[in-house]
Amino acid sequence: MPRHSIPKIEYLRVQNYRALNDLELKNITPLTVFLGPNGSGKSTIFDVFAFLSECFTVGLRKAWDKRGRFRELRTRGADGPIIIELKYREKADSPLITYHLSITEDLKGPCVAEEWLQWRRGQHGKPFKFLDFKEGEGQAITGDMPDEKDKRDYEKLESREFIAVSTLGQFAKHPRVSALRRFITGWYLSYLTADNTRSLPEAGAQERLSPTGDNLPNVIQYLKEQHPPLLQKILNTLSRRVPRLEKVEASIMQDGRLLLQIKDAPFEQPILAKFASDGTLKMLAYLTVLYDPDPPQLVGIEEPENHLHPRLLPELAEECLAASANTQLMVTTHSPFFVDALKPEQVWVLYRDENGFTQARKTSEMRGIQDFINQGALLGQLWMEDYFDVGNPLKNSGMPKKN
């Protein structure tokens, strides 16, 4: 059954973040897919979510230093702050909340120049900020349903590099702020590779796949112990995608490490994961994420087509579509086969403009695309046949077609 209470991002604006000089995405869907030429900005959008998540989990300074500070992060030629703005709903019938984060740098390091949360309680009336901070100090309205008339508490953080939502969100008196903090800290961004899934980790059940996938045996062990029907569902799905696959098991070795074994139906003995195909392991890893019994509220997957047979990609897209009832998914891809299973409103094409900055066009807003879909065309086919207005790396650097 779909979960109706999960937060969903509906809008994203990013300014001065690498090639994202001023990018705005409206009406973001539960499954959102980004495609485009190499260097068009797909990975940069992905990194915006990773950066924001790391700001909340390991702190702004570590996330900042990891990316080379302003020297590497800020758009070349820009002199303003880096700004990330999200509009989201905590659940389908909740008011739209805007979260604005502006980051700059001084001689001491990164600092939060401005941070605020804004909403409008009813259908009418002016939106107001129920959290409003500048350079480490500001005001916040407590309570479950903050109202403009409510009392504002003054707060001062210990450092200007602290994120107010991350700090105040630890206190029960700020439930709306706490909800955003839980949302962002719970994001799962996948950078998994088939090689990492072949690891031999220490035994011990783990609930969620790591970003690199190196604890896949631990997750299989957890599902086997705590959710055996769900593990069977994953294996049934995998066996439909990978012919004659019969069983996957995580066994504890004498030295205390976990060994992942995969059994094909024609053979009596299973093989070790290190001898299994890349595609089998990656599909298994993705299914453990998409079938998570307590899924992350946002999942990001980069280029899932690597090491997967093209015929498996529409199937994986269908799995992503089903999972989007319970979590929001952001996917980057180069594969028309993956895109074939999608609707135009779910797909954004990225390209660089004449100044080298990333721009985005939703395929549903391109002339004629929906008409072709209505007549039975597939979106990936239209992409490959150059019906999209942008995104062809062999024509005008992927920029809009000239009339």
Q: What is the pLDDT of residues 104-161, one digit of tens each?
A: 998 889 999 999 999 987 666 789 999 999 999 999 999 888 888 888 999 999 999 9
Full set of structural domains in the chain with CATH: 8-187+328-398 (3.40.50), 197-293 (no CATH)
**pLDDT level of residue 268 (50, 70, 90 thresholds):** low
pLDDT at 2: 52
**pLDDT tens column, 44-98:** 999 999 999 999 999 999 999 999 998 899 998 888 999 999 999 998 888 999 9
For tokens 């100090």, what's the residue?
A: 137
Q: Is the dihedral angle over the CA atoms 127, 131, 136, 138 positive or is it negative? A: positive
Least confident of 197-211, 250-264, 341-355: 250-264
Taking residues 254-279, what's their average pLDDT?
Answer: 66
**pLDDT level of residue 183 (50, 70, 90 thresholds):** very high
Give one word for 22, left, alpha or beta, with left for phi > 0 and alpha for psi -120 to 50: beta
d(CA 197, CA 273) in angstroms, rounded, equals 8
CB 281 within 8 A of CB 194: yes
CB 45 within 8 A of CB 34: yes
Report the SS3 class of residue 99: strand
Residue 43: count other Cβ atoms within 10 Å of its Cβ.
Answer: 17
Q: Quick check: 5 pLDDT over 80? A: no
Question: Of the candidates 90, 48, 67, which has an alpha carbon nearest to the alpha carbon of residue 181?
Answer: 90
pTM over 0.85? The answer is: yes
Q: Quick check: 356 pLDDT over 80? A: yes
CB 355 within 8 A of CB 330: no
